[in-house]
Amino acid sequence: MKRTQIERLPEEVPAEFVRFAAGAAIYDSSCSPEARVWLIDRDGGYYLKKNRAGELAREATMTDYFHKKGMGAEVLAYRTDAHDWLLTAAVAGEDCTHRTYRDDPRRLCDTIATRLRALHEVDFSDCPVTDRTGEFLRLAEENHRTGNYDSSHFPDSFGYASAEEAYAVLCAGKGELKRDVLIHGDYCLPNIMLDRWCFSGFIDLGNAGVGDRHIDLFWGAWTLWFNLKTDEYRDRFYDAYGRDKVDTELIRTVAAAEVFG
């Protein structure tokens, strides 16, 4: 996780959050200009996020839900005004891009696969977000309609030669996608926290909810390819998750939706 030490929080940060930073080292952990993230290094650590108004409401809700399930950070405050602000306690350990984990790729692959299977077996009957699959498909349809197509971030076997090819696959398979498990929605190494190889929680849960397991399976295979710079662990990932629940045709359908953003 990127961390650049800074002298203080920006002046725009509301006073109710600034008080948490008194006497603490502050780090900028932002990955994009739209969403700013600061680590406040005291009392076990806090993370403060800023985004456009309304952008963090879902993440606040689902982070709190995952925390109550023992799988996420504690939400300490959420505020919306001209911007959204979300303060959480830090989750113990490091995310799975840490060198400790990347240096043992087989163990890493097996760990995130079995952890994903465990997530997909959690009771979701009280989940506040009940149709992530529908939202996922509606976004793909809208982006197809507006010409938003980009396959550059996907390995060849997940990519498509054209938007038309991808859309044909999406249309043929989308009716098979279910709403039958609790998903993370962005199941990538930076969003999985381990503490000396023991699972400690998930972060960045804005896309979580009840959906189809193959959305997470797609991203789990993708993140191993992207972060380890090889596609050799994909089959191992599916095997460790459990082939009884893996439909590679539905993963192709998810891939077809994802190239539309």
3.10.20.740, 3.40.50.720, 3.40.50.970, 3.90.1200.10: CATH of 94-258: 3.90.1200.10
Q: Sketch the domain layout of the chain as residue ranges.
A: 4-89, 94-258
| Gap between the Cα atoms of 65 and 75, Å rounded | 9
State the virtual CA torsion across 247, 250, 251, 256 in degrees, nearest 10: 160
Q: Which fold has domain 4-89?
A: Phosphorylase Kinase; domain 1 (3.30.200)
186 catalytic? Reply is yes
Indicate which residue of 64, 84, 95, 186 is catalytic. 186
Q: Can you tell me whether residue 70 is helix, strand or coil? A: coil
Residues paired with 199 in a beta bridge:
194
* pLDDT by residue, tens only, the chain of 261 residues: 678 899 899 999 999 999 999 999 999 988 777 789 999 999 999 999 999 999 999 999 999 999 999 999 999 999 999 999 999 999 999 999 999 999 999 999 999 999 999 999 999 999 999 999 999 999 999 999 999 988 777 766 677 888 999 999 999 999 999 999 999 999 999 999 999 999 999 999 999 999 999 999 999 999 999 999 999 999 999 999 999 999 999 999 999 999 997
| Gap between the Cα atoms of 143 and 145, Å rounded | 5
